[in-house]
Amino acid sequence: QSVLTQPPSVSGTPGQRVAISCSGSSSNIENNYVSWYQQLPGTAPKLLVYTNNQRPSGVPERFSSSKSGTSASLAISGLRSEDEADYYCAAWDDSLRGVVFGGGTKLTVL
Amino acid sequence: DVQLLESAGELVQPGGSLTLSCAASGFSFSTFAMNWVRQAPGKGLEWVAGSGGTGSGGATDYAESVKGRFTISRDNSKNTLYLQMNTLKLEDTAVYYCTKGKGHSSSSAFGHWGLGTLVTVSS
């Protein structure tokens, strides 16, 4: 059971916009930055978005994040087949004094 | 370019010990937080331990599941991160990733990841 809650799967068609939710609590998401990671099949995870919707160089603007209270969301616009991957949210937890991850969401591009 | 190279994983018996290393290059190693994150076969990501950079006073933090059994350390003169794992359990079987933080605190996002190394705990 992960501290952060994500839907197990989401799907969309090419060109669509999809959103992946991440639900936590006041000890993690509400009072700390959230980061999002993409893991393509058989590869190491990669940082997508962090802090206040910042993207590392090379990450397209199609990926964006938002936060409200104890929940966060990753939005992917202009969906492409290469976006098919597992996506994870993460945040520092003040009570646990460590980083907590969501269980991961598998994105399928139909 | 940032590079993180983990040592080769091994097959270890339950109750055994193993030390992983991660050779870092391409950045000022001492400045940044370094963390270990693991992924059990077919499962999600789990943070294991973190070591803060010089700006955080070198603080270390551990997941509850490994506290008292694992020790994270770093040799800034060798640009190398370590994870000493003792009293290994079957549930420690996972791919272990070395990661570099975006900042000096263990709470900063994991900006770069190594390729990962598989540790198998089995009799």
Give residue-wise pLDDT tens across range A75-86: 999 999 999 999
User: Cα–Cα distance between B17 and B121 in angstroms, integer?
Assistant: 10
Most B CBs within 10 A among A22, A99, A100, hence the mutation to make, goes to A99
Please judge whether B44 and A102 are an interchain contact, meaning their C-beta atoms are less than 8 angstroms apart. Answer: yes
Whole-number Å distance between alpha carbons of B66 and B118: 17
A46 touches B: beta carbon within 8 Å: yes
What pLDDT digit, counting tens, does each position of A78-107 carry? 999 999 999 999 999 999 999 999 999 999
> How would you write the pLDDT of chain A (110 residues) with one tens digit per residue?
899 999 999 999 999 999 999 999 999 999 999 999 999 999 999 999 999 799 999 999 999 999 999 999 999 999 999 999 999 999 999 999 999 999 999 999 99
For residue B30, with 0-12 CB atoms within 10 Å meaning exposed, 13-18 middle and 19 or more buried, which class applies? middle
Rounded to an integer, what distance in angstroms lies between the CA atom of residue B50 and that of residue B34? 6
Cβ distance A97 to B61 less than 8 Å, yes or no, reads yes
Rounded distance, CA B39 to CA B117, Å? 10
Residue type, A78: G
Q: Do the Cβ atoms of A78 and A21 come closer than 8 Å? A: no
Classify burial at A1, counting beta carbons within 10 Å of its beta carbon; exposed 0-12, middle 13-18, buried 19 or more.
Answer: exposed
Q: Compute how many other C-beta atoms are within 10 angstroms of the C-beta atom of residue B103.
A: 18
Is residue B55's pLDDT more than 90?
no
- Between A and B, how many CB-CB pairs are < 8 A? 63
User: In this complex, which of B63, B64, B113 lies closest to A44 when CB atoms are compared?
Assistant: B113
Does residue A51 sit in helix, strand or coil? coil
State the smallest CA–CA distance between residue A110 and chain B in angstroms. Answer: 22
To the nearest whole Å, the CA of B112 is away from the closest chain A CA by 7
Between chains, do A90 and B47 touch, taking CB under 8 Å as contact?
yes
